């Protein structure tokens, strides 16, 4: 008799595509992006949306919890960079 332990190993997923604006109003911007080409061997279950004020290198999460889809509406849009 032989015993063994099975381990599932996954690599980190690749990055999603850059977010693109779908609809922009004076106070919101609906974003859309494509999932990563390589999921690392496990389905991607969510995304964190981040923002950075113009001329800043500091990124701040816009979403507290992961976004389960590839769309999100950001409110109070000013001069921000999004990823």
Range of the domain at 55: 20-37+46-82
Number of domains in the chain: 1
pLDDT of residue 25: 87
pLDDT the model gives residue 30: 93
Local confidence pLDDT in tens for the 83 residues of the chain: 333 444 555 788 999 999 999 998 888 989 999 999 999 888 899 999 998 877 888 988 989 999 999 999 998 766 555 55
φ and ψ at 8, to 5 degrees? -95, 125
C-alpha to C-alpha distance for 83 and 80, rounded to whole angstroms: 10
Phi, then psi, of 72 in degrees rounded to 5: -160, 140
Task: Write the DSSP assignment of 55-79 as a string of letters.
Answer: T----EES-SS-BSSSEEEEES--S
Which tokens in the block code for residue 76? 């109070």
d(CA 24, CA 14): 28
Q: What is the pTM of this model?
A: 0.75
Specify if 52 maps to a domain.
yes
Question: Would residue 8 count as lying in a domain?
Answer: no
């Amino acid at each position: 008799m032989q015993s063994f332990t099975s381990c599932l190993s996954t690599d980190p997923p690749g990055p999603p595509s850059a977010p693109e604006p779908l609809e922009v109003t004076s106070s919101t911007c609906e974003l859309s992006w494509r999932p990563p080409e390589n999921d690392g061997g496990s389905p991607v279950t969510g995304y964190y949306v981040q923002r950075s004020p113009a001329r800043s290198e500091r990124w701040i999460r816009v979403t507290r919890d992961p976004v389960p889809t590839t769309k999100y509406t950001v409110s109070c849009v000013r001069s921000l960079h999004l990823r």
